[in-house]
Amino acid sequence: MNLITQPKNPLRGSVVLPGDKSISHRAALFAALAYGESCIQNFLLSGVTHVMLAALKSLGVNYQINGNTLIIQGCGLQSFQTPAGALNCGNSATTLRLLAGALVGSGRAVILDGSPGLRRRPMDRIVAPLREMGASIQSQNGCAPIEILPSTLPLKGIGYTLPVASAQVKTCLLLAALNADSPTTIIEPEFSRDHSERMLRSMGVEVTGEIITAADGRQMFQTVLTQPDHPLALKPLNIKIPGDFSAAAFLIVAALITPDSNITIRQVGLNSTRTGLLDVLIDMGATILISNQSTRNGEPVGDIIVKHSRLRGVQVAGEQIVRMIDEFPAFAAAAAFAEGASVVHDAGELRNKESDRISVLCEEMRRLGVDIVEHTDGFEIKGDARITGGLADAHGDHRLAMSLSLIGMASRQPVTVSGAEIISESFPEFSQTFLDLGGKLVLES
Ligand code: S3P
């Protein structure tokens, strides 16, 4: 499917976005692990969360979906059934890594597999620490399919330092730690998103987080699950999920680069482990205001007001990377229209996402006329208000597809993105949301 974006249509008005993808994944799985009925409003219904729900169904979990409310009947991990075949995690590394952490404590044999794209992504980062905890788990040369075999329970609590900050790995280990005989300590070089810790706390688990100083003097981030889940039973959830900041990122950048735009995105998640892009855009000269702030179910939310702005180039590196790890494709679209050069370093982890997000981003942005150069650990863009537009391909990466179509909001000619159906993995309402704000996007099969 092609998505064609017609340039120079100002975006105006206000929108509410579907629920946060990370929180939706966690809410579905954690609710299944709890005892009792959970009610989850504003649940993201998209390709990747359907994959999580289908996996839970294969494990014998019952749920209903009413509109965008998910009702889950949680009966605890020990009620899970052995699935008939391999659990298909589709394109979703979050589904695979989180399920692996939960399932190693179940005493059941389960195979976790997924699309060819998912099979390329590194899984040794969960296999090694789970083995240290006593899990019996195999990969295919560090990748999916992942085979979990029954292991001696309870697992062992461990102290583990992640080589690269990762909320998926941290959450995987926290879920395994629920079934361990002693506390588990996870240390990260940067503080990755902490939605799991917040949610587990609301379910009655003791999880602490603090900054520590390592032996070499570096600041590190330590998460400790002090109280494993037996005899404690997780309490069910009754929550409304905030709008997805990573979806909002595309609207924010679109409004910034499209002349005469002025939009409000209401009730978006503003957890500071996720909002690095806001800080970077403000540094670039963006007019962005936050209002109506509150805390909902332990997560900060608020309205984001964005106006078209003249942007200037910026440097992004170090601890900023993890706080905007999913936003580099959107950031690249902003940098493409900024005055001067923007440089990203320390972002090698982008090569392990739904695509190699450094090389593919550079290749496709270049096809649209963006002056972008690839570095091993990032990229450099020389901004230009007069980008041509043209044809580009999504490479099976939802965020790449959306960011390429952003270029078409302000380029001289339209942008056509092929393979755009992949957008429905995380943001099925993408085109409709832009149409509602006055954008001109057409899907053609
Ligand atoms: C996610 C964490 C990030 C992010 C992904 C979702 C999560 O991955 O890129 O889209 O829900 O925990 P890593 O933990 O691998 O950095």
Tally of residues, the chain: 445
Here the tokens at position 216 are 């070499």
The answer to whether the CB of 188 is under 6 A from ligand 1 is: no
Q: The domain at 2-18+242-444 falls in which architecture?
A: Alpha-beta prism (3.65)
Q: What are phi and psi of 94, to 5 degrees?
A: -60, -45
Ligand 1 in reach of 326 Cβ (< 6 A): yes
Angstrom distance (rounded) from CA 350 to CA 365: 16
Give the integer Cα–Cα distance in Å for 45 and 50: 7
91 CB near ligand 1 (under 6 Å): no
Closest CA to 405 of 391, 393, 415, 419: 415
Q: Is 106 in the pocket of ligand 1 (CB under 6 A)?
A: no
Could you check whether 2-18+242-444 and 21-226 share the same CATH topology? yes
Q: E strand or H helix at 111, and its extent? A: strand 110-113
d(CA 98, CA 118): 14
Reduce the DSSP state of residue 143 to 3 states and report it. strand
Closest CA to 441 of 183, 266, 186, 250: 250
CA–CA separation, 198 and 200 (whole Å): 6
CA 353 – ligand 1 centroid, Å: 9
Q: Which two tokens stand for residue 328?
A: 């580099």
d(CA 281, ligand 1 centre) in Å: 21
Is the minimum distance from the CB of 9 to ligand 1 under 6 angstroms? no
199 ligand 1 Cβ < 6 A: no
Pick out the chain residues at pLDDT < 50.
none
Instruction: Compute, in angstroms, the gap from residue 431 CA to the centroid of ligand 1.
Output: 24
d(CA 430, CA 409): 14
Question: Is 356 one of the annotated active-site residues of the chain?
Answer: no
Q: Which of 98, 168, 322, 398 to mutate to test the pocket of ligand 1 (most atoms within 8 A of CB)?
A: 168
CA–CA dist 92, 112 (Å, integer) = 11
Amino acid at residue number 299: E
* Identity of the amino acid at 242: P
Q: Is residue 288 classed as helix, strand or coil in its secondary structure?
A: strand
Which pLDDT score, from 0 to 100, does residue 231 have?
66
CA of 330 to the centre of ligand 1 (A): 16
Residue 13 Cα to ligand 1 middle (Å): 30
Per the structure block, which two tokens stand in for 369? 């006329």
Query: Tokens for 404?
Result: 């390429």
What's the CA gap between 261 and 56, in Å, rounded? 42
State the distance between the two ends of the chain, measured CA to CA, in whole angstroms: 4
Provide the pLDDT for residue 212: 97
Distance separating alpha carbons of residues 170 and 50, to the nearest angstrom: 23
Sign of CA dihedral 86, 20, 192, 333: positive
DSSP-based three-state secondary structure for 221: strand
**Domain 21-226 maps to which CATH number in 3.65.10.10, 3.90.25.10, 3.10.105.10, 3.40.50.300?**
3.65.10.10
Residue with tokens 């994944």: 25
What distance in Å separates the CA atoms of residue 94 and residue 246, rounded to the nearest whole number?
A: 15
Sketch the domain layout of the chain as residue ranges: 2-18+242-444, 21-226
Q: What is the pTM of this model?
A: 0.98
Q: Is 94 in the pocket of ligand 1 (CB under 6 A)?
A: yes
Which residue has its alpha carbon closest to ligand 1 atom 11? 22
Contact assessment for residue 197 and residue 171, using Cβ atoms and an 8 Å cutoff:
no
- Selection from 277, 276, 255 nearest residue 265 by Cα: 255
The rounded distance, in Å, linking the Cα atoms of 311 and 286 is 6
